[in-house]
Each structure stands twice: as structure tokens, then as C-alpha cells.
Chains A and B, each alone.
Chain A
């Protein structure tokens, strides 16, 4: 569901904040800067705790480490046993030595607390370490290389879909709020419950219809195999592959989004100042731009970013269903390999993306709504 935040709820400008007009601008800027600085510190702390919790969950009580030691032992034993050059008597000793070496290489011999703190420090600095099993398409074992390779795909898909949903829903909602009760309005209201299903769910049907029953679009992947040579054809192929996933996201969120915005605009367009503007005989376009959109801008921006937050986590399954080579698929593969550094790296990146979104939210909020930065204690 789309949440529409009510800005400045319960935040009244404190009395006695009358400032001389000359100073006002400078003060406002320092106020904004101070506010942002405070928010950054708070967010860094938040990310710190969040990432540490991830590390703890990923490795409660060292169970995963035990599993990994067992795995190492099995691999090493296999390798040693299949080596005909090793005498049977030396095998056990060699296995032990190799296991110890491997355990030391992966740092499994140190207490978990220290390792977790080490993980934390490196995760916060985005030094995500080396993957244990996976490698990037270019062959790098660096977790950051693996992730940066996948990030653009996720950003491309979800960025496109979100912007599309957002713009279309605002424009349509504004229209509808002016003529509510029309058949189009009723249809949208009736269709709003369809958003109970997530995007991947509609994706299944879209694949069924447009990839198998009526093969217009590819059922998965990001680009044709083999990839086209020229840049233009490459882009065309990517767009072709994006149609179904973007449509899936679009269908799953558009109706409820329009519904919420329409209700929101309806409530706002019955405010006194809008009625006043209408009474003055201002054109509809101007009323929309100046009297409805401007005062509600903070809410609109907030909702957009909240929607982003919601969609980041929906990414995994949609990507999985459409075989889209993004962060979600990566995380899922990493979990299959039990590649702890990649899992933690992936969750850390998700956490950073979310934190960045929250930060942007705060920033835009403060920039758009002066009450926020003045009233923050």
C-alpha cells in the first residue's frame, strides 16, 4: 500500500521566531545545514546498528561457522584422498594441517565477537572483502565488484518502474480528483484492491501470456543471447526485456497509487484556500500547480521515497521470477552458496540504499517544508 505521510503533523512553529529579513536567509541555511548534519550522524549510527544486527543474524552463535568448518573438512579430505601421491599414513595429518590452514585463511579461529566487529568495520567502510565461492562475471572475487556489477540492473529496472508509476499516478489522480464519480474514477476505485498482489505475482501471468501463450516478449533475462553488438541494439534488447517486469510492477502498484493520491488531492482541493482560488476564477492548471501541488509537495516526495523503500525489498522475488541479473538475484544465489561475505555485503548494500533513501527524504522534507528544520528540537 502506498502510505501518504501527513507532513508537519503536530509540529507547530515555536512562538517568537521573528527574525530580521536580512539574517533570515543565512540563518535558514545554517539551520538546514545543522539539521542535515544531525541527521547524518543519526543515520550513520542507525546503519551501524542495523548492519551489526545483520551480521549477528547471519551468524548466531557461530552455527554457520561450524557448518563451514565441516564443509572445509569434507572438501579437503576429498582433495587429499584423490591425490595418489600422498601415502595413506600421512593422509590424516595432511588433512588436519590443510583444514587448519583453511580455517586460518578464512579467519574462523578467532572468537566470533572479534570477527563480527571486524566484519562491521569493513562493512561500514564498504570494504566488503572477498567472496568465498562466487565471482563476478569478469572473474573478480571482490564482493564490491560482484555487487557493483549487479547494482545498475536493479537501479535500471526499479528506477524506471517507480518513476513511471509515480508520474502516471500523480497526473491521473489530479485529473480524477477534479471529476470524481465519473466512470473512470469508479473503475479505478474498484480496481484498487488488485494491488493486494505483489509485482512478481502479476509477473507470473504476464510470462504465461506474453512469453509462452503469445510469445511477444522474452520470459526472462536482461539482454538477448548473444548480446547485440552495437550500443543501440543492445539498449533496444534491454528495453525489450524490461517490458514485462516493468509492466508487472506497474500493474501491481498503479491502481492503489492512483486511488490514494486521488483521495489525498480530493481532501486537499476542498481546503479553503483552493475554494478561494477557484472563486477568483483562476484557471484549473494554475490552481493545480500553485494551490494543490505546492502545499502538498512534501507529502508527495515523502510518499515517493517510502514507495522506493517498499520496492527495494520486493526486488528479490521479481528479479528471481524474471531472471533479472540484479541485486536480488545475487543475494539469492549467495544464500544458495552460503557465501556469508556476499550475503552480508548484499544486506549492507540494501541497508545503505534504504538509509540513503531516508536521508534524501529528510533532506527534501527540510528543504520543502520550513517548519521541519525550525521545529526540530
Chain B
């Protein structure tokens, strides 16, 4: 059947069209992802190899939750001082610097973290630095003097002494309204950095990072990773796993069933017994066993799934369909012209029952997509690749639901559901198209 003819038969079924559209969208996303973020790069990034996530907030919600909640949560702010505003006062053997980092903070939620990046250049000697926090109402908070050399990263949020002095975590206390400490005081803040440098040629650069509460379209996880990467890369992985597993198991099973039916006798008996053995082997426990004892590589898992699926229970079903074909006149004819056994099996026995199998093949794909997710949820996901299941697993181990990071669970779950739905919609409709007995219903 050509694609056009198939399309003509699918079109009257809105659910099939919807399913096909979902699948097409997923395929497109996969292709774009693979081209835009090559496999190697995705793996390195997800492991945090190139420090790509340093500027991301921890556990930030997606930006769109802002709209949804009607709030105005901050994104990550990177504040670098205005070069003209820097006041330099040289003295004998050194330099005094006043470096203001001013910014507007109109948001109604606190930042999630405050970090000050200081880079000292042109000297080997240490410098004294004291940041002063100037709030919109004119009050000043001295954040404590420190000695720095070279490039330094001062995590203000982790400063226990400062926290003790302010009575709350610094990134909340510094922004809190004087009367109502649970609210943000909006307005223009300045972090004034007063520094004494002991070298005339020295200079200081400063950058304040006020990590936001929202980030990107997908949010971030506990390791500052952008979940978007895993959501995007999860798509081709899920589709490939589902498709290869479904194809691997159906095709091999079908060929084996046909071989058994055609040759009969001992071959058939052996196949039947092997099927019964595989029927009592619990697939998931065996997979879990392989995963823990050997490797959790997604390709090994795929191999085991296909290997266990070769002699699956569906052989019995295929046999029932193939048995009547064995005596069909056109097969007699094929034998008469001298067709080999394999030719009869591949060219004459399998094609007639393919249409009946396509729907169940399509509905089988999401089963394997979910199997991959299941393994990942059990902590047996692929060690390097970001997948939807691994997101769910991370979310579960980090207590995402308990902490209210719902986006972390909802996004991968929704994608899984969408994939399942797409294939299921198409499969169920194809079932009605290819199996006319159901069509009237």
C-alpha cells in the first residue's frame, strides 16, 4: 500500500490523524535536537563537563509558571558595574576603589541565591574588599571584609556568619521589606564594593549574580542543569528505544513463528517449548538483574528486551494466523515452481498477515518507551544519556513533589504521556482500519 493510499484510509479517523500528528511532531523535535545538540555534546553537558550550568539557578521553575501563577518571580540577574561609576583614589603603593553595582529589583519574590564574582588583575598581592549592601530605603548593611587574590567566587548565600547577623538567609534578608520580612522591598539596590588594592597597576572587576526563581522553558534541577536538554534529548532516545524494541521483537517473533509453522515437527516443537520457557521468565526482574549486575547502558537493555521478546507469547498468536496459510494454494504454487523454504517463509507466509500486525506493532511502541522510563525510574537508566525517565528518577530521589517542584515531574511525564497517546491513538485507529470486523463498531 502506498503512503497516499494509507493516508486516504486514515483521514476519516480524527483520532488517527491526531496520533499521526503527535508522532510527526515528536520525530521533528528529535531530528532538530540531534542536529542542534550532537550526541557527544549532550552527554558532556548533562554530566556538567564543560561548566555550562554555572550561571543557572538551582531548582528554578520554568518561566511560564510565572505567567500561570500571575506572579513576577525574578530571573537570574547578572549585574556588572558601570565602568564610569568606579571611583579610584590612588595612594602611595596602592589604590582605593569604590565600585558600585546598581540594579533595579521590581520582582515580588526573592532571588534563590546571591554570588559575588571578583577578579583581581595586575597584581600578585592580596586585596582587601568589603561589600556594602545599599537598600532602596537608604539603609546600609556591611557584608563583612575579606581578603581576595586572583579570581574569587564569594557565595554570599552560604555565608553562615552573615546569616546569623541578618537573622535569615542573606538572599532573603537583604531584599526583605523592613516591616514585613516575608515580602520583597522593590526598588533600586546597590552593592558598593569598597576595596583596597596594594599595587598601583592593579584593577578589580566585580559581577553580582542574583540567581532567579525561574529559568528557561523547562526549569533547572538540583545540579543547575537546564531540564530542557533532557526533555529534548529524551525524545529521540525514547522513540529509538520504542521503535527498535518493537521492531526487533515483532519481526524476529514473526519470522520464528513462520519458520516453526512451515517446517513443523521438531523445529516447531523446540520453538513452542522455548516460548513456554520465556513465558515464565519475568522480563522486568531479569532486566533489573542485568542492569544492576552488568551495565545499565540503554543499548544492552535494548538487547535484552529484544532477546527476551524473540520467543514471546505472541508466537502462539501468530501461529494461529499462519497455520491456515500453510496449505493455501498460492503456496502450493510457489513450491511447484521450486521456491526455497526461506523464500516461502519470507515472501509468501509473512506478508499476508502483516496488515493485521501493524496496529498491534504501533501500540507496542509506547509499551517499550514506558519500559525504558520504568527502568530509569528504578535507578537503572542509561549512565550517560539524559532521558525522560532519568528526570523522573532525579525528581523522585530529590523529593521534587515533596518540595513543590512539580514542573520537574510534570514535563517529562507529559511528554511520556503524549508519546504513549500518539502511538496508541494511531494504533487503535489502524486496528479499526485493518481489521474490518471491528469497523462497524
Contacts and interface: CB of A to CB of B under 8 A. Distances in A.
A298 B280 CA distance: 21
A343 B284 contact: no
Interface string A310-351: 001110110011000000000110011010000100110011
Contacts of A64: 293
Interface in A213-272: 262-263, 266-267
Contacts of A93: none
Given A193-B425, A196-B366, A351-B282, A316 B288 contact: yes
A267 B439 CA distance: 11
A30 to B, nearest CB: 25
Interface stretch (B85-93, B142-150, B196-204, B415-423): B415-423
A358 B280 contact: yes
A212 B401 contact: yes
B282 A207 contact: no
A42 B276 CA distance: 9
Interface string B421-434: 10111011000000
Interface string A346-370: 1100110011001000000000000
B292 A336 contact: yes
B346 interface: no
B363 interface: yes
A1 interface: yes
A70 B262 CA distance: 51
B40 interface: no
A313 B441 contact: no
Interface stretch (A51-59, A83-91, A128-136, A152-160): A51-59
Contacts of B117: none
Interface residues of B, number: 52
A57 B277 CA distance: 15
Contacts of B427: 193
A200 B288 contact: no
A46 B280 contact: yes
Contact of B324 (A10, A54, A320): A10
Given A204-B392, A207-B401, A313 B279 contact: no
B4 interface: no
A172 to B, nearest CB: 15
A208 B400 CA distance: 10
B290 interface: yes
Interface string B146-169: 000000000000000000000000
A20 B282 CA distance: 46
A309 interface: yes
B353 interface: no
A197 B420 CA distance: 6
Nearest to A354: B280
Contacts of A46: 273, 276-277, 280
A354 B279 contact: yes
Given A53-B281, A351-B280, A316 B378 contact: yes
Nearest to A49: B277
Given A194-B421, A208-B409, A317 B378 contact: yes
If over half of A's interface residues share one DSSP class (helix, strand or loop), that class is named, otherwise mixed; here it is: helix
A208 B406 CA distance: 8
B323 A10 contact: yes
A262 B441 CA distance: 10
Contact of A50 (B281, B420, B421): B281
A198 interface: yes
B374 to A, nearest CB: 5
Contact of B417 (A197, A320, A335, A336): A197
A343 to B, nearest CB: 6
Contact of A317 (B273, B367, B374): B374
A266 B438 CA distance: 9
A355 B282 contact: no
A3 interface: yes
A377 to B, nearest CB: 11
A58 B425 contact: no
A155 to B, nearest CB: 15
A242 B317 CA distance: 35
Contacts of B294: 60, 63
B289 interface: yes
A267 B88 CA distance: 91
Q: Residue among B279, B317, B363 with the most chain A CB within 10 A?
A: B279
Contact of B441 (A10, A180, A198): A180
Interface-centre pick from B15, B373, B374, B417 (highest chain A CB count, 10 A): B374
Interface core residue of B15, B19, B276 (most chain A CB under 10 Å): B276
Interface in A1-18: 1, 3, 6, 9-10
A353 to B, nearest CB: 8
Contacts of B280: 46-47, 50, 351, 354-355, 358
B378 A332 contact: yes
B409 A263 contact: no
B293 A316 contact: no
A350 B285 contact: yes
13 contacts: A1-B363, A43-B276, A53-B277, A53-B281, A192-B428, A196-B420, A201-B413, A201-B416, A204-B392, A208-B401, A267-B437, A346-B285, A358-B279
Given A42-B273, A316-B285, A336-B292, 10 more contacts: A50-B280, A50-B281, A54-B281, A196-B363, A196-B366, A200-B374, A317-B377, A331-B285, A335-B292, A358-B276
Q: Which 7 A-B pairs have the closest CB atoms?
A: A193-B424, A196-B420, A350-B282, A196-B424, A196-B366, A335-B292, A354-B280
